């Protein structure tokens, strides 16, 4: 489990297609404090650490299955060398829950369809996949590229998020562009409410 509060911006150092896709990610995390088998959310995708090192900088390796590639923006954008990723380590008992409960299981891929500066903040409009749009509500929570965010408004499949300067500086959202494919995880509570409504 995660909270959607980004704690590091990692960088893809290299990828290699084996049976699965192997990615090496540079990080500011102290690798001495990471165990093999630990879960780290990378742009919202929960991945398992399979190797660690510090040459020439701290890094960890993850294996990414074909299914994960197909269901996330990895399949749309790829992870080219140098790509920056939002990172979050798994929630520990007693940690502050500053965002909302995030599983790291991406539900689909949204697209950036609008950008507008509003003072120092930026309003970004996303278009959700048809089958996920009904789970997104004004003032509800979503995780986008692993970041816990509050929805401002909804218009059909489109929904808006306001990014304050801190969020743009502490995550990869400062570099968002039109047409970007974004990992979308809907709020678990919204899923259960819809299930109760449909089958209750």
- Residue 175 is predicted with a pLDDT of 97
pTM of structure: 0.93
Token pair, residue 30, equals 């102290």
Q: Does domain 8-89 have CATH number 2.40.30.20?
A: yes
Could you write out the DSSP letters of every residue in the chain?
Answer: -B-S---EEEEEEEEEESSSEEEEEE-SS-GGG--TT-EEEETTEEEEEEEEE-SSS-EEEEEE-HHHHHHSTHHHH---TT-EEEEEEPP-TT----S--B-S---EEEEEEEEEEETTEEEEEEE--TTTGGG--TT-EEEETTEEEE--EEETTEEEEEE-HHHHHHSGGGG--TT-EEEEEE-HHHHHHHHHHHH-
CATH number of 108-199: 2.40.30.20
Token pair, residue 119, equals 């003072």
Q: What is the pLDDT along the chain (200 residues), one digit of tens a residue?
A: 899 999 999 999 999 998 899 999 999 999 999 999 999 999 999 999 999 999 889 999 999 999 999 999 999 878 999 999 999 999 876 666 677 889 999 999 999 999 999 999 999 999 999 999 999 999 999 999 999 999 999 999 999 999 999 999 999 999 999 999 999 999 877 766 766 667 65
Same fold, 8-89 and 108-199: yes
Domain ranges of the chain: 8-89, 108-199
What count of residues does the chain have? 200
- Residue 195 is predicted with a pLDDT of 61
């Amino acid at each position: 489990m995660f909270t959607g509060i980004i704690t590091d911006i990692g960088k893809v150092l290299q990828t290699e297609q084996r049976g699965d896709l192997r990615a090496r990610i540079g990080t500011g995390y102290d690798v001495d404090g990471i165990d093999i088998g630990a879960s780290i959310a990378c742009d919202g995708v929960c991945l398992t650490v399979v190797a660690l090192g510090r040459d020439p900088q701290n890094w960890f390796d993850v294996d990414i299955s074909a299914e994960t590639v197909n269901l996330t923006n990895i399949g749309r954008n790829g992870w080219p060398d140098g790509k920056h990723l939002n990172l979050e380590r798994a929630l520990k008992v007693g940690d502050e829950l500053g965002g909302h409960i995030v599983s790291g299981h991406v539900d689909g891929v949204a697209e950036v369809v609008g950008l507008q500066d509003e003072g120092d903040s930026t309003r970004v409009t996303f278009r959700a996949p048809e089958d996920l749009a009904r789970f997104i509500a004004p003032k509800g929570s979503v995780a986008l590229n692993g970041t816990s965010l509050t929805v401002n408004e909804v218009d059909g499949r489109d929904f808006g998020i306001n990014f304050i300067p801190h969020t743009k500086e502490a995550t990869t959202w400062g570099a968002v562009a039109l047409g970007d494919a974004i990992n979308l995880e809907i709020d678990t509570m919204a899923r259960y409410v819809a299930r109760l409504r449909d089958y209750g």
